[in-house]
Amino acid sequence: MNHDKIKQYLDELQQQHILQVGAAIRANEQQVGGAHYAVKAIQPWDFIIANNIGYLEGNIIKYISRWKDKGGVEDLKKAQHYLQKLIETHDKEKMV
């Protein structure tokens, strides 16, 4: 093999490795900080993205979906806090 062919071969191997590593660590296949989303039939963020849901609404969905498996009533209070902000934002937009 000449130098160019060897370089091309090594470049191809490197690209394959990068693709394999990238495929091996997809976001839905890992969770940082617990397993409370792993038990869900649909990941909350996939639902949020698929339905083009905004930040405040998305956080409400996130906290509501995990409250039994992670934060308990504290997560319900967090969802309520985001809901309060969403209502305030909506009311302010209606005034303008």
pLDDT single digits (tens) 29-78: 887 877 788 778 899 999 999 999 999 999 999 999 999 999 999 999 99
How far lies 41's CA from each of 50, 51, 58, 65, in Å?
Answer: 15, 16, 17, 11
Structure tokens at 2: 């000449």
Interatomic CA distance for residues 80 and 96, integer angstroms = 25
Higher pLDDT, 95 or 21: 95
pTM for this predicted structure: 0.67
| SS3 call for 22 | helix
Say which range, 56-60, 74-78, 79-83, 87-91, has the weakest mean pLDDT. 87-91
